[in-house]
Amino acid sequence: MAKMLLRAENLRKAYGDRQVLDVEALAVWDGDRIGLIGENGAGKSTLLALLAGETEADSGTVQRMGTLALIRQHGDAEAGEDEQVRAVFRAEADREHPSGGELTRNRISAAPSRHPQLLLADEPTTDLDGEGLALLRERLRAFPGALILISHDRSLLRSICTKIWLLEDGRLTVFPGGYDAFRTERDRQRARQQFEYDQYRAEQKRLRASAQRMAERASSVRRAPSRMGNSEARLHTREWTDAVLQLSHAKRTIQNRMEQLEIKEKPRAMPEIRMKMGAFHPVEAKTALEARCGRLDAGPRRLLERTALTLPTGSHTALLGPNGCGKTTLLRTLAGSTEGAVRFEGGVRFNPAVRLGWFDQHHEATLNPALSTLENVLDVSVYPESQVRTVLTRLGFRRDDVFKPVSVLSGGERAKVALARLLLMDCNLLLLDEPTNHLDLFTLEELERLLREYSGTVLFVSHDEEFVRQTATRIVRFDGRKLIPFEGTLDEMRAPRVKDTEAQRKIDISCLEMRLAALAARLSAPKKGDRPDLLQQEYLEIAEQLKRLRSP
C-alpha cells in the first residue's frame, strides 16, 4: 500500500486584501506524479513554498511524513553536492557569467542531491535547451519518489504526470489522469457550463416576455363605461377585478419562477482579435534585417565567426541552439543593447521602414511599477483602449485586473504586460528573448495565437518545443560557430532527418544480412584456420543486431 508523504488541511494565505489560497485539503502519496497548473498569479509557487515549509500559512496545517526538496524557480543557483548528479546535469558551481540555462541546471542538481522522497519542482524547464529538457524528462521519469511539478512545458506534463491539480481562484481541483485527460475533461465541463448558461438565459428571456404580456393584458382590460346602469356596472366591475387579479397572480407566479431560477455564470470566453497587429506601418521590402558577423565574443568565448543572418519580411524565425551557445547575446547585439565583455565585429542593417520592438529576459525595466497594467500598455499603444483591453483579456487580465498597479503583479503577470506593450506598439519587427518564461499554460496558448496573427517580422528564442512548433515559420540554428537557416517549420526541418535515419537503417540491415550469409557459408564449410566457436559467436551477435534493427 502506498505511503502518504504529505497532507495539508484548510490552507489559507492572503497578501493584503487578496486571498491567494483557500485549499480545504490535499494529500500526496508515494509514487504520485502531479502537475500543478493555473494562471499566472494563481498562487502555484506560494502553494509549493507552503508545502515545503519555506512560507507560513495564515491558517491551516501541513504534515510532512517524508523528506522533501524544492527546485526553486529563482534565487540560489549553487550546484548540488552530489558529484554524480552534478556531472549528469553538467552543473558548474564556479562558472563565471553563467547563462540562464546553466543556472537552472545548478538548481536542478541541488535538489536530487538530497535524495528526497517528495520532489517539488517550480518551473524546472526555464531556459533549458533541448538536451537539458531531454535529460530532465529522463531523470524525473526515473525519480523513485513522488513529484509535484509546475511547468508550462506541455510535452513534459504529458510524459510525466498522471494527475493534475488545477489552482483557480485560490481553490484546488483534482483531475485524475494526465494533461490530455485534464484538457478533455475541462473542455467537457466548459461545454456543459455554456449549455446550462444558454438554457438559463433562454428561460430567463421567456419568463420576462411572459411577465410583460401579462402586464400588457392587465392594462388593456376595460373598465365599465360611465353610461352603464348600476347593476350592469357592478357586474362589469366584478368581472374586471377578477380578470386583473388573475393576470396579476399569473405575473407574480412568473416573477417568482424568475427569482427561483438557479443562476448560471457565463463561462470564461476569450474575445476575438479584430485587428492586424504589426501592420500599422508595414515593411514593403523583401528583407527586414540583414546582419553579417565577422566574430561575436562573450568574454574569452568565441560564439560566432564568419557567418550571417537574414530575416525575410513577415517571417517568424526561431533561433535554436544549446545553452551557452550565444542566442541571447546575439539578440542583444541585434537590438543594440550589448554590454560588458561582449565584442562584435560586423554590421547590422535594418530596412529603413523597420520599427523595432525588443523583449529582453529582464523586461521589467520597461514597466512603470506605479502605473496600472492598462496605463502601462496605453502609454505606448497605437490602438484604441477597446482593442488594448481585448489583447489584455487574451493574456489573462480580466475585468478590474487591468487597474492593478504593476508593482503588485507576479513575475509572470509582468511578463504579460511587457509582451502586450510590444504587440500593441508601432513595431513591425520583434526580437523576443524567451517570451514564454514564467507564463502559465493558458496564457502561453493565447500568446501562440496572438503571434500567429501578428503580421510583422519576428525573431525569437524559446526552448519550448511546442511553442516553436506553433509559431515559427522558419528556423535558424547555431551549428558550431555558424548560423544555419532552414526555410520551413520545426517539423519540416526534422522530417528529412527521419527519412535519412530510415534510409540508413535499411542500408545497415542489408549489410548485416550479407555478413550473416557469409558467416553461414563459412560455418557450413570452414576454411583452414577458421575458429567455428568464434564464427558462431559473431553470427549470434549479428543476428541480435539485425533483430533490433528490424523491430519497429
Per-residue pLDDT tens over the stretch 273-287: 555 677 678 888 899
Residue closest to 342 by CA, chosen among 379, 398, 295, 387: 295
pLDDT of residue 526: 74
Q: Is pLDDT at 80 greater than 70 in this prediction? A: no
pLDDT of residue 1: 64
Residues, the chain, total? 552
* C-alpha dist (Å) from residue 356 to 14, 87, 432, 459, 462: 40, 41, 11, 11, 19
Q: Is pLDDT at 504 greater than 80 in this prediction? A: no
Tell me the average pLDDT across 206-211: 74
CB atoms within 10 A of CB 174: 12
Determine the Cα–Cα distance for residues 468 and 448; give it in Å rounded to an integer.
9
473 three-class SS:
coil
Q: Is pLDDT at 97 greater than 70 in this prediction? A: no
119: exposed, middle or buried (C-beta count within 10 Å: 0-12, 13-18, 19+)? buried
| 287-488 shares the fold of 4-177 | yes
149 three-class SS:
strand
Determine the Cα–Cα distance for residues 180 and 503; give it in Å rounded to an integer.
33
- Who wins on pLDDT, 492 or 101? 492
Q: Is pLDDT at 263 greater than 80 in this prediction? A: no
Q: Is pLDDT at 94 greater than 60 in this prediction? A: no
Tell me the average pLDDT across 246-266: 66
Which of 142-156, 434-448, 483-497, 501-515 has the lowest average pLDDT? 501-515
Mean pLDDT (the chain, rounded): 80
Reported as a pLDDT band with limits 50, 70 and 90, residue 7 is very high
Q: Is pLDDT at 84 greater than 60 in this prediction? A: no
Determine the Cα–Cα distance for residues 203 and 199; give it in Å rounded to an integer.
6
Tell me the average pLDDT across 168-190: 88
Strands 316-320 and 171-176: unpaired
CA angle, residues 392, 394, 400, in degrees to nearest 5: 45
DSSP annotation of 381: -
- Which helix or strand (DSSP H or E) is residue 500 part of? helix 490-524
As given in the structure block, the three cell numbers for residue 136 are 530532465
pLDDT of residue 143: 83
Strands 171-176 and 163-168: antiparallel
Which of 4-8, 467-471, 522-526 has the lowest average pLDDT? 522-526
pLDDT of residue 239: 55
Domain boundaries, the chain: 4-177, 186-260, 287-488, 494-550
Determine the Cα–Cα distance for residues 162 and 176; give it in Å rounded to an integer.
7
* C-alpha dist (Å) from residue 445 to 14, 440, 441, 450, 497: 28, 9, 6, 9, 28
Q: Is pLDDT at 520 greater than 90 in this prediction? A: no
Q: Which pairs with CB-CB distance under 8 Å and at least 24 residues apart come from 538-547?
A: 542/512, 542/515, 542/516, 543/516, 545/512, 546/509, 546/512, 546/513, 546/516
Determine the Cα–Cα distance for residues 330 and 323; give it in Å rounded to an integer.
13
**Do 417 and 377 contact (CB within 8 A), yes or no?**
yes
pLDDT of residue 221: 52
Q: Is pLDDT at 78 greater than 70 in this prediction? A: no
CA torsion angle for 59, 65, 67, 70 (degrees, to 10)?
A: -30
**Do 354 and 414 contact (CB within 8 A), yes or no?**
no
Tell me the average pLDDT across 111-137: 78
Q: Is pLDDT at 160 greater than 80 in this prediction? A: yes
pLDDT of residue 241: 60
pLDDT of residue 271: 52
DSSP annotation of 397: -
Q: Is pLDDT at 207 greater than 60 in this prediction? A: yes
Q: Is pLDDT at 362 greater than 70 in this prediction? A: yes
pLDDT of residue 220: 59
Q: Is pLDDT at 497 greater than 80 in this prediction? A: no
Which residue has 528556423 as its cell numbers?
475
Determine the Cα–Cα distance for residues 150 and 124; give it in Å rounded to an integer.
8
pLDDT of residue 269: 57
Residue closest to 44 by CA, chosen among 167, 134, 140: 167
DSSP annotation of 478: E
Tell me the average pLDDT across 373-396: 89
pLDDT of residue 396: 82
pLDDT of residue 83: 55
**Do 417 and 443 contact (CB within 8 A), yes or no?**
no
pLDDT of residue 35: 94
Tell me the average pLDDT across 437-464: 87
Tell me the average pLDDT across 312-338: 90
Determine the Cα–Cα distance for residues 529 and 507; give it in Å rounded to an integer.
31
Q: Is pLDDT at 224 greater than 50 in this prediction? A: no
**For domain 287-488, which architecture applies?**
3-Layer(aba) Sandwich (3.40)
pLDDT digits (tens, 9 = 90+) for 460-496: 998 888 899 999 999 999 998 899 999 999 888 887 6
Q: Is pLDDT at 49 greater than 60 in this prediction? A: yes
Reported as a pLDDT band with limits 50, 70 and 90, residue 374 is very high
Amino acid at 156: L
Tell me the average pLDDT across 148-164: 90
* C-alpha dist (Å) from residue 135 to 89, 142, 161, 184, 480: 7, 11, 16, 29, 21
CATH 3.40.50.300 fits 4-177, yes or no: yes
DSSP secondary structure string for all residues of 55-113: S--SEEEEEE-S-EEEE-SSS--PPPS-HHHHHHTT--TT-SS--HHHHHHHHHHHTGG
DSSP annotation of 489: -
Alpha helical stretches, state H, 221-306: 230-260
pLDDT of residue 352: 93
- Who wins on pLDDT, 99 or 4? 4
Query: Residue 148: beta bridge partners?
Result: 34, 120
Reported as a pLDDT band with limits 50, 70 and 90, residue 319 is very high
How much of the chain exceeds pLDDT 70, in percent? 79
Determine the Cα–Cα distance for residues 298 and 300; give it in Å rounded to an integer.
6
pLDDT of residue 166: 92
Q: Which pairs with CB-CB distance under 8 Å and at least 24 residues apart come from 173-179?
A: 174/26, 178/35, 179/35, 179/154
Residue closest to 291 by CA, chosen among 270, 275, 269, 307: 307
pLDDT of residue 244: 57
Which of 34-43, 117-126, 173-182, 508-517 has the lowest average pLDDT? 508-517
How much of the chain exceeds pLDDT 90, in percent? 27
